[in-house]
Amino acid sequence: MGSAVIDIPDGEGVGVTLREKKKFQFSLQPIISYLRENNKKIQFSLLPIVSYLREKKTKHDMRRVIHSTKVGVALVLVSLLFLLDPIYAQVGDNAMWAIMTVVVIFEFYAGATLSKGLNRGMGTILGGGLGCLAAALAQEVGGKIGHAIVVGIFVFIFAAAATYARLVPRIKKRYDYGALIFILTFNLVVVSGVRAVKVLQIARERLLTIGMGFSICIFISLLIFPIWASDELHDSIASKFEDLARSIEGCMEEYFSIVNEKESQASAKNSSSCKSVLYSKSKDESLANFAKWEPWHGKFGLYYPWGRYLQMGEHLRELAATIISIEGCLQSPRQPSTTLRHLLKEPCEAVVSLLASTLRELGESILKMRACHAEKIVPKLKSKRLELSLVISPSKLATIENGEGYTIAAFMFLLIKMVEKVEELAKEVEELGEPAGFSTH
């Protein structure tokens, strides 16, 4: 059945004849010759990778790369405290606290880094100082039992007070991390069990290394390609005006036309823009909090009115909710006839055109920090609101049959509400201009 002879000696191995071994010989010569013939076909090129990176290179992606590089540089610099023997001889194992400080406080935005760093510094100083005092007082009390009682009383009082302070909304927004570090540092110092002199020495050395890590973070975060939370909040609020203007135009185009596949896709995009505005409250509050910690830079001063940006964000979210409600009217199974829609088309399109242009003007005013004159905008909006109220007067709605009057009334009511919201936004932008120092030219 074949020329191969296989031996199984003692059931442990397999013997193969010389002819069978030749069949299993491996040679690289065919592979090398194939590569030479097809060298041009399998040539490696970086062009597709470069083109892909160019497509993906957006502003936010570049900032991510910059932030990642800055964190790497900061960690390399702080690691020199360990790597260089002369420096390590001075700081010793306490250099680990500097590395921990860099890892913990270095954030994406410069204001967030500064906020965490100052909170960590204040919490460490207060916690260490009060912990040293508590440890010294506990040493004055003789006996192990008395010492333990005093330490327990101090730990309970300060930990409970700091925890309660963390629950106060104003303190939680800006000083939550500092209160947490205070609790941690105070407990570590007061229950360490060493003498008061030794406690002071340890606190001084650790505070020094923490200050080194904090200095490196602040230097790199604020001076090397800084990423400002204030710029992010300013641009974000301005872009929301444009997003809502496009959403309003998209809703009206859908309402007064036959919906096809492309328009359905556009409607989904408009809805996502409104929802992104609607769910932006937590992000805006975080950016405003970080912006308050940032130093004077560019066009933003020390006491820039970031609180007014949050008020404006609330009005924008209310307007986005109204637009989503109008989209709900479009999806209702009970819709007015095409003839009735054409009768309302002209006044509604005039109002929508004015709303969109006004929102874009307000957004551009914020983006370019140019004063807005609400006295020119508000009268136009009020006149359009009056025209819409005449369209849905009870006398006209009574002539509409088959329940279409209720559908038209709901739609027009939401449209009037949108006009009112834009009026409020115009006043908000005008009020922002004076404290923010908007240009009047």
Per-residue pLDDT of the chain (441 residues; tens, 9 = 90+): 444 444 444 444 444 444 444 444 545 566 556 545 555 444 445 455 445 445 545 666 788 999 999 999 999 999 988 888 888 888 778 888 889 999 999 999 999 999 999 999 899 889 888 888 888 888 777 667 887 888 889 999 999 999 999 999 889 988 999 999 999 989 888 887 555 556 677 777 888 888 899 999 999 999 999 999 999 999 999 999 999 999 888 888 877 764 444 444 545 556 778 888 989 999 999 999 999 999 888 788 778 899 999 999 999 999 999 988 887 777 777 776 677 777 777 888 888 899 999 999 999 999 988 888 888 888 888 888 888 777 766 666 666 666 666 777 788 888 889 999 999 999 999 888 888 888 876
And the tokens for 221? 């975060």
Residues 6+ apart with CB under 8 A from 316: 237, 240, 241, 244, 277, 425
And the tokens for 55? 């497509």
What is the Cα–Cα distance from 99 to 82, expressed in whole angstroms? 10
Q: Count other C-beta atoms under 10 Å from residue 19's C-beta.
A: 10
Closest CA to 350 of 391, 322, 317, 404: 391
HSE of 253, CA atoms in CB hemisphere, 13 A: 16
- Residue 300, class by beta-carbon neighbours within 10 Å (0-12 exposed, 13-18 middle, 19+ buried)? buried
Closest CA to 80 of 72, 88, 89: 88
- At residue 16, the 3 state secondary structure works out as strand
Burial 387-401 (b: 16+ CB within 10 A, else e): ebeebbeeeeeeebe
pTM of the model: 0.77
And the tokens for 13? 């191995």
- At residue 403, the 3 state secondary structure works out as coil
Q: Give residue 106's identity as a one-letter amino acid code.
A: F
Radius of gyration of the chain (CA): 35
